Structure 1
Amino acid sequence: MTGSDDVSPSFRLAYVPGVTPTKWVRIWNERLPDVPLTLVAVSTADALDLLRGGGADAGFVRLPVDGEDLSAIPLYTETTVVVVPKDHVVAAVDEVTADDLADDIVLHPLDDTLGWERPPGQPAFERPATTEDAVELVAAGVGLLVVPQSLARLHHRKDLTYRPVTDAPESRVALSWPQDATTDLVEDFIGIVRGRTVNSSRGRSQAPAAAPAQPKGKRPDAGGVPRKPTAGKSTGKASGKSPRAGSGGSKSGAKGGAKRGKPRRRS
């Protein structure tokens, strides 16, 4: 056979800056060693277009996911932090509010992921193109930067530190994929992300389970229906009367008080 039938299955997973997919990739390689997983790094701004264009089977993106053509499963919400030089006054406290930054220049890069209605602090003369560029400006003493904690870690520098901003918007990370391309492999990855076990009934269909063994001593009648057990042991010819409940199949009270012996089984 030729064409698509000859193509080995593979899975392409996109991820935006700040997301670390290592744990899920490891589980995938353990469960599906014959299906290679390829990681596709993508900017936050381009992630949804990449999925819509078929550049990846699924991806870790930042919410919101616009449109009805993409499915999304929210995974977690990140802490928002302010990145400052180590000798800045903010470095001396455990956390701050947006009002605490009112007198500082706060950089607002073009790839901002927090969706501010009004960014805190004083605006810079020019917006940096990327978060990475903004971090360099913080190190140069130009201003401060408010970002999700994962981005502060991603662009960590020894001369910088960060502190939580308690009332800032938060960024949420989700797994997303095209609704009309929910393949078996996508279902497999959804199961991994949601923590389903390898034997879970959801996700990709599993091989049918073996039929349970027939209990010993119960031979099925024709048609496969097991016989109902009788109330007592057979005594050979039917007497025409059913034994009384609780009598154990014997009858007492005969003339002269004689007791009936245990009936012999006929061979």
Structure 2
Amino acid sequence: MAKGRSGGRQPRRDAAPRRRQGSQGSAAPRPQRTPRPSPGPAPAAPREPVVAEPSTFRLGAIPGATPGKWIDVWKERMPRTALELVPLSVAGQREALDEAEADAALVRLPIDDHGLHVIPLYDEVPVVVCAKDSHLTAADELEPGDLEGEVLIVPQDDVLGIRIPATVPPRFDPPSDTAEAIATVAAGVGIVVVPMSLARLHHRKDVEHRALRGGPVSTVALAWVADRTTPAVETFVGIVRGRTANSSRG
């Protein structure tokens, strides 16, 4: 059988076509791709400034004030902020707030409230303090008329400004404070009229006290400088007003 011109071989129909060559006979170069720079770390989001709570809340308190129950609640709600009790005199209560000796204070009214926030808390009834063997102890309550002829001692730190008709002024200089006045009463000289809490504060075994019906009351209030209303002050205000920890301010 005769062979073809190509020597008997037939071209393969499935052969891959040859690549076209350039003018130099080599494959056409592929275009170069510029590499992209690798992205750096994402910038950190700005942090909100952290406002540190004060380490101590200073609560001023005039003699006779009893903030114990409120202090207990404060310790539960504000364990990271200690409450420091700052003793105040009634005469110096306004100055202590002005000079920032206390962040807030339990004060006795009246007080010059210019520039202050003042929240009345409770009223105290007046009592008559007398010697234990005084005839005044025979009654459970007294009226101003029962004090006729009694020597009324008014100490220099008097908070009631009480004047009872038909009483007798002492023949000695007024004592410097309530404690000294009650000590004088214990010796059998005169009587003293003070708010109930002061009678309890300066209680002695040789004196008694009886409520004075119709006498002037003494109001205890919470006060602080309006321009220094801090979150700690607002928390204490909520406590004395009986708000729960989750209640809104109002």
Q: TM-score range by the shorter chain?
A: 0.7 to 0.9
Q: Which of 111, 114, 117 is the aligned partner of 2:160?
A: 114
Cα distance in 2 between the residues matched to 1:179 and 1:6: 21
Structural mapping, 1:78-227, within 5 Å = 78-116=124-162, 118-120=163-165, 121-125=167-171, 126-202=173-249
Aligned length: 198
- Residue identity in the other structure for 1:104: E
> How far is the alpha carbon of 1:94 from its aligned partner?
1.0
Q: CA RMSD in A?
A: 1.5
The percent of aligned pairs where both chains have the same amino acid is: 49
SS where residue 12 of structure 1 aligns?
strand
Residue 7 of structure 1 deviates from its aligned partner by 8.1
Query: Are residues 24 and 130 of structure 1, via their aligned partners in 2, closer, same or farther at CA, if it must alter by over 3 Å?
Result: same
The residue type equivalent to 2:224 in the other structure is W
Residues 128 and 193 of structure 2 are in contact (CA less than 8 Å); yes or no, is this contact kept in structure 1?
yes
Structure 1 residues 8-17 or 24-33, which shifts more? 8-17
In structure 2, what is the Cα distance between the partners aligned to 1:95 and 1:187? Answer: 40
Q: Secondary structure at the match of 1:100?
A: helix
TM-score with structure 1 setting the length: 0.71
Compute the displacement of 1:119 (Å).
3.9
CA distances 1:108-143 after superposition (whole Å, capped 9, x unpaired): 011111123x34511112211100110000001111
* SS, match of residue 142 in structure 2: coil
AA aligned to 1:141 is G
1:180-225 deviations in whole A, cap 9, x for unaligned? 111111000000000000001117xxxxxxxxxxxxxxxxxxxxxx
| Alpha-carbon contact 1:65-1:72 (below 8 Å) kept | no
Deviations 1:220-239 (A, max 9, x none): xxxxxxxxxxxxxxxxxxxx
Q: Structure 1 residue aligned with 2:58, among 12, 17, 21?
A: 12
CA distance in 1, matches of 2:200, 2:52: 43
Q: Which of structures 1 and 2 has the larger relative contact order (alpha carbons within 8 angstroms, sep 6+)? A: 2
Alignment partner of 1:45 is 2:91 = yes
TM-score w.r.t. structure 2 length? 0.76
The amino acid of 2:202's aligned partner reads H
AA aligned to 1:70 is: L
Shift of 1:8: 4.3
- Point out 4+ residue stretches in structure 1 off by more than 4 angstroms: 5-8
Whole-angstrom CA distance in 2 between matches of 1:18 and 1:134: 16
CA–CA distance in structure 2, aligned partners of residues 122 and 59 of structure 1: 36
How many angstroms apart in 2 are the aligned matches of 1:160 and 1:184? 44
Instruction: Check conservation: 2:125, 2:215, Cα contact below 8 A.
Output: no
Output the CA distance in 2 between the equivalents of 1:173 and 1:67: 14
The amino acid of 2:238's aligned partner reads: G
Shift of 1:6: 7.4
Deviation at 1:144, TM superposition (A): 0.5
> CA offset at residue 9 of structure 1?
3.2
In structure 2, the residue matched to 1:261 is: none
